[in-house]
Amino acid sequence: MRDAEARRLWAANLLRAAAVPLTAVVPAFFMDGFSVLGTHLAWLCVCALCVGTLNVGLCLVLKPSLPPKRSSVANKISRFLKCCIYFFMSCILFHAIIVLYGAPLIESVTETFLFAVLLSTFTTLQCLCMLGPNIQAWIRVFSKNGATSIWENSLQITTTCSILGAWFGAFPIPLDWDRPWQVWPISCSLGATFGYVAGLIIAPLWIHWNRKQLTYKSR
């Protein structure tokens, strides 16, 4: 494992992590009454848009994955359209899963869908940026010992932490504390966000700690 590659991962993950709290602070200078709790739907949109844009930008600059063999304009357009379709399908799938786990089916549809978009931004969009619309590559990366680079290890950890954070965030909702952050889906989206940021920090630390045991093979 090259030290230069590890430093690039550190820099990218720290930049991603730093961008998240900025989505809660910067919009308040331009939008009256903006806050994470008070205008939660607006924050969900801002956070998903900023995190998604940053991830795409870092992917284009750092190029953590190998480029496809074919690089014609038609192939790039087809790849981009597939990525858009996959992301939209991910939002629909997450929305359905969230409803199956107990979210309101008819009420709060907008809240549930925006939460699904946020989850897709933390998970699916990263997979699309790094692996492209290649389901076989996704299956390989998330299988045991399937990672072939430190970037894929980071993808595994960040995605897992985001989903676990959303799951743990649902625990306080049924409690009768009557807190504003218990309103659906605030605690879940905050849990996913904290999980995402934690994963970004944990991933390079875990990779550094296990650097001697990590061996990657081309697949």
Largest CA distance in the chain: 58
57-73 residue pLDDT tens: 999 888 776 555 556 78
With the C-alpha atoms ordered 73, 77, 79, 83, is the resulting torsion angle positive or negative? positive
Say yes or no to pLDDT of 182 above 90: no
Measured between alpha carbons, how far apart are the two ends of the chain, in Å? 17
Q: What is the structure's pLDDT at 34? A: 94
Q: What is the structure's pLDDT at 192? A: 97
143-160 residue pLDDT tens: 877 788 899 999 999 999
* Residue 105 pLDDT grade (very low, low, confident, very high; cuts 50, 70, 90): confident
Say yes or no to pLDDT of 53 above 90: yes
Closest CA to 199 of 4, 12, 2, 3: 12
